[in-house]
């Protein structure tokens, strides 16, 4: 059931992206929503909400930086640093 719901949310998201043309970073939001929904329906509620928050936050940061006058190399560096920080924090504080 979780994979069916996740797949349905993914297809709905792709349809919205097709209609709006907001492919990047919109695809990150779609991935986050479908992955998070799958985790939530498998009983991993906090992981699901964390996944949604991460992907939506990532998309928000990318969109803000895209609209600013910051150099692309700086944007890439900020994104990589952010992902690294998240990985380290998850490893230290959210071990299974």
Rounded Cα–Cα distance for residues 56 and 59 (Å): 5
State the residue range of the domain holding 40.
2-68
Q: Which pair of structure tokens corresponds to residue 73?
A: 């190399």
Examine residue 44 and state whether it is found in any structural domain, yes or no: yes
83 pLDDT higher than 70: yes
Cis peptide before 25 (omega within 30 of 0): yes
Examine residue 42 and state whether it is found in any structural domain, yes or no: yes
Examine residue 95 and state whether it is found in any structural domain, yes or no: no
> How many domains does the chain contain in total?
1
Q: pLDDT, tens digit, for every residue of 54-68?
A: 899 989 988 887 888
On whether the CB atoms of residues 38 and 3 are closer than 8 A, the answer is: yes
Q: pLDDT, tens digit, for every residue of 5-46?
A: 889 999 999 999 999 998 888 999 999 999 999 999 999 998
Examine residue 52 and state whether it is found in any structural domain, yes or no: yes
C-alpha atoms less than 13 angstroms from C-alpha of 58 in its C-beta half-sphere: 25
Kindly report the pTM of this predicted structure.
Answer: 0.73
Which of 1 and 59 is assigned the larger pLDDT?
Answer: 59
Examine residue 89 and state whether it is found in any structural domain, yes or no: no
Mean pLDDT over 57-83 rounds to: 83
């Amino acid at each position: 059931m979780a994979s069916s719901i996740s797949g349905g949310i993914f297809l709905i998201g792709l349809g919205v992206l097709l209609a709006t043309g907001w492919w990047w970073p919109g695809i990150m939001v779609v991935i986050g929503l479908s992955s998070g929904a799958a985790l939530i329906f498998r009983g991993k509620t906090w992981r699901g909400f964390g996944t949604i928050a991460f992907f939506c936050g990532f998309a928000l940061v990318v969109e803000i930086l895209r609209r600013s006058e910051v150099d692309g190399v700086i944007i890439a560096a900020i994104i990589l640093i952010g992902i690294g920080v998240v990985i380290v924090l998850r490893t230290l504080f959210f071990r299974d």
